[in-house]
């Protein structure tokens, strides 16, 4: 079934159709959210908030873009709210850090490389980070990224290009 058919089924009262939509999109949304908020718990919260908001506002889905794009728009708003809340509380007790985050990875060079890339993605300006995440982790076309971000398609392409160039520059300077 297509997303649109599942949306129509949900609106007709078939709850299992919405569960199918959740299963279909939750991994992609989590990947985008994690790159945006850099905290697994906050990413899970943002994804959960996205699905709650999507379900409660499903009748308002106008089909101007794909359901996936609509979900990404809701997710980005949830992530922005989450980041604003986390900016208010910057300190984290060591006891609150998950053990997995402290444990050594089986391949230290790969773990360091991944951590370095994530650190650099976090340094990007918000718009560039968002466009990069939507393009790479949600696999959205620039036209749909522009709709999510409320910018032109060209501006989305430029933001993506600048993000990639900055990452390339930062990663090259580390070597």
Q: Would you state the pLDDT for residue 37?
A: 86
Which pLDDT value is given to residue 103? Answer: 44
Whether residue 65 contacts residue 147, with contact meaning beta carbons closer than 8 Å, is answered with yes
Listed as own residue / partner, the contacts of 3-11 with beta carbons closer than 8 Å and 24 or more positions apart are 3/66, 3/67, 3/68, 4/63, 4/67, 7/58, 7/61, 7/67, 10/55, 10/58, 11/58, 11/59
Domains and CATH numbers, the chain: 1-92 (1.10.1740.10), 106-175 (1.10.10.10)
Average pLDDT over every residue of 130-136: 89
Q: Are 174 and 123 in contact (CB under 8 A)?
A: no
Give which of 130, 7, 10 is closest to 61, Cα–Cα: 7
| Tokens at 133, concatenated | 């995440």
Confidence band of 51 (pLDDT split at 50, 70, 90): very high
pTM of the model: 0.65
- Burial track 156-175 (b if 16+ CB lie within 10 A, e otherwise): bbbbbebbeebbeebeeeee
* pLDDT on residue 88: 59
146/157 Cα distance (integer angstroms)? 9
Query: φ and ψ at 89, to 5 degrees?
Result: -125, 95
- Asked whether the predicted pLDDT for residue 104 surpasses 90, the reply is no
């Amino acid at each position: 079934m297509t997303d649109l058919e599942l949306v129509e089924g949900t609106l007709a009262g078939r709850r299992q159709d919405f569960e199918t939509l959740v299963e279909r999109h939750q991994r992609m949304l989590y990947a985008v959210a994690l790159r945006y908020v850099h905290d697994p718990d906050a990413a899970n919260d943002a994804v959960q908030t996205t699905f709650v908001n999507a379900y409660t506002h499903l009748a308002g889905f106008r089909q101007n873009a794909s359901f996936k794009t609509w979900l990404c728009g809701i997710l980005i708003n949830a992530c922005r709210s989450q980041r604003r809340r986390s900016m208010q509380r910057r300190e984290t007790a060591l006891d609150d850090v998950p053990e997995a985050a402290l444990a050594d990875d089986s391949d230290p060079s790969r773990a360091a490389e991944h951590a370095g890339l994530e650190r650099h993605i976090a340094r990007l300006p918000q718009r560039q980070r968002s466009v990069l995440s939507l393009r790479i982790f949600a696999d959205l076309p620039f036209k749909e990224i522009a709709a999510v971000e409320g910018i032109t398609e060209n501006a989305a392409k430029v933001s993506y290009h600048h993000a990639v160039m900055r990452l390339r520059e930062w990663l090259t300077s580390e070597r």
